[in-house]
Amino acid sequence: MSALITNGEFLEAAFADLPDGAAAMVTGFGGDPATAHRGDWFARAWAHGQALDWRVKPDANNYIAVGSYWPDETGTYRRRKALFARLHLVMVDDLGTKVPLGLVRLPLSALVETSPRNYQGWYFVTPSAASDEEPVAARLIEALVEAGLTADGSDPGMKGTTRFGRLPVGINAKRKYIEQLGAPFRVRVDTWEPQRRYTVEEIAAAYRLDLIPRQRVIAPVSPSAITQRAGSFVRLLQLLAGAGMYRETTGTWHHILCPWVQDHTGRAETGTAINEPGPANNWAGGFRCHHGHCERRTIGDVYRWAQEYAQGSAA
């Protein structure tokens, strides 16, 4: 039997151990999440006793981040890895469709139907040393993804310790459900057992997940390779400028028109930049694009695109 739980009640239970000075992060918006603007995913702070942001309403796609976050140097709360305070929620995603319900090894704190016969299972986390360590919390989520127990989608909200899940009151306005049902799917709570709470270690043990953060081996870069990479980056900037794709510079970041702008929702031309080779990126350079279709692209992809572009121009 479904439970009648408000978003406020869900937050009060899930964030019962909210650290003093930290905040949970929520957002809500209308329309299809697959085509939402980046600003729609911008989260607003919530703490005990506060009203929910006005955007979080019954007829919106409503989301909650799995962690709490500290304010930045300006006093602004942001859903950022660097501001991570504590892990409060662990989500098992796509239960009933991609993940059989029989794979659930620990009784859930909450089970929320987010689309027809498709569920997000929630575990409420009891504080421990592991829940307050971002690398360990991130490794738990990474291990869940590797085990096929939660999605690693292309939406801006679906990454690591800043990931979102759906709040129990709201709608799923993805286009496919509107076409299928004639209206957005109304999210509902199927199971509500907030007294069920687990430590990060208990969840990892139940699903046999390795919590040791992966160590990235960084090979040293020779002086000649540094010079070569710097020269390649300059030539890349020259090519982009010649193609009318260069915008402006902010520090070591160079804002450009994305080579894959045709894949952006509405062909949006903002939100893309490349970073100069330097010690912070092991002299490899960097690429970032705020659009979901480019989430997995790297500076290597930009160089490969540039090579193909140059060859096509010369033909």
- Tens-digit pLDDT profile for the chain (315 aa)? 456 899 999 999 999 999 999 999 999 999 998 888 878 889 999 999 899 999 999 999 999 999 999 998 889 999 988 899 999 999 998 899 888 888 888 999 999 999 999 999 999 999 988 889 888 898 898 888 888 787 665 444 556 899 999 999 999 999 999 999 999 999 999 999 999 999 999 999 999 998 876 666 667 889 999 999 999 999 999 999 999 999 999 888 899 999 999 887 677 788 788 999 988 788 999 898 877 677 678 999 999 999 999 988 776
Task: Could you list the beta-strand ranges (E) of the chain.
Answer: 23-29, 44-46, 61-69, 84-87, 89-95, 110-115, 118-125, 164-166, 170-172, 185-192, 197-198, 246-250, 253-256, 272-275, 286-289
Domain at 7-206: CATH code: 3.30.70.1790
pLDDT for 82: 84
3-state SS of 72-126 is: CCCCCECCCHHHEEEECEEEEEEECCCECHHHCCCCCCEEEEEECCEEEEEEEEC
pLDDT for 43: 93
pLDDT for 263: 84
The residue extents of the domains of the chain are 7-206, 223-314
pLDDT for 216: 61
Paired residues of 27 in beta bridges: 63
What whole-number distance in Å separates Cα of residue 147 and Cα of residue 124?
20
Residue-wise DSSP of 196-224: -EE-HHHHHHHTT---SPPPPP-----HH
pLDDT for 155: 47
